[in-house]
């Protein structure tokens, strides 16, 4: 019993919790967890499938310390052509005109994989999922 509780406390101490947020046309990625986050990536996001509009995040962050916030570049595309930051406003609840889900993947120091999903919709941003994706 004591062993299980000790293991649980250790897992909590090394668990990262990473979220992305658009502020002033720039993406900030923050580790709110207690542990270091490794290999942080934001999954490409489809804004409008019919119009072939998507946002891609080419960067991967190798290390994000607990409490650290870094900028990450997002680039929007329409029909395969770069539109720069034009469609990034869809990820700001103040300007969103549809519901989108942003997915961030990362690992802890034991290379256990995690994923957070955020829902962005008009005037609302909420965390909808946090899960272990691979042990």
78 within a domain of the structure (yes/no): yes
On whether residue 7 sits in a domain, the answer given is: no
pLDDT at 24: 77
Per-residue tens of pLDDT for the chain, all 135 residues? 766 766 666 666 679 999 998 887 788 999 999 999 999 999 999 999 999 999 999 889 999 999 999 999 999 999 999 999 889 988 999 889 999 999 999 999 999 999 999 999 999 999 999 998 876
Q: Is residue 117 part of a domain?
A: yes
State how far the Cα of 135 lies from the Cα of 132, in Å rounded to an integer.
7
The total number of structural domains in the chain stands at 1
Residue-level pLDDT at 7: 65
Q: Is residue 5 part of a domain?
A: no
Q: What is the pLDDT of residue 1?
A: 72
Closest CA to 61 of 37, 35, 43, 89: 37
The first and second tokens of residue 75, run together, are 């680039």
Q: What is the CATH number of the domain that holds 102?
A: 2.60.40
Residue 128, in any domain of the structure: yes
| Domain ranges, residue 60 | 16-134
Distance CA 86, CA 90 (A): 9
């Amino acid at each position: 019993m004591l062993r299980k509780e000790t293991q649980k406390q250790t897992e909590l101490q090394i668990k990262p919790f990473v979220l992305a947020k658009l502020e002033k046309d720039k993406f900030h990625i923050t580790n709110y967890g207690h542990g270091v986050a490794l290999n942080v990536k934001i999954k490409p996001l489809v804004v409008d499938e019919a119009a072939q509009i998507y946002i891609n995040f080419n960067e991967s962050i190798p290390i994000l310390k607990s409490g650290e916030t870094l900028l990450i570049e997002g680039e929007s595309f329409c029909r395969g052509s770069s539109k720069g930051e034009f469609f990034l406003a869809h990820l700001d609840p103040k300007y969103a005109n549809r519901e989108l889900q942003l997915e961030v993947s990362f690992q802890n120091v034991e290379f256990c994989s995690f994923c957070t999903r955020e829902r962005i919709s008009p005037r609302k941003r909420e965390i909808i999922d946090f899960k272990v994706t691979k042990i």
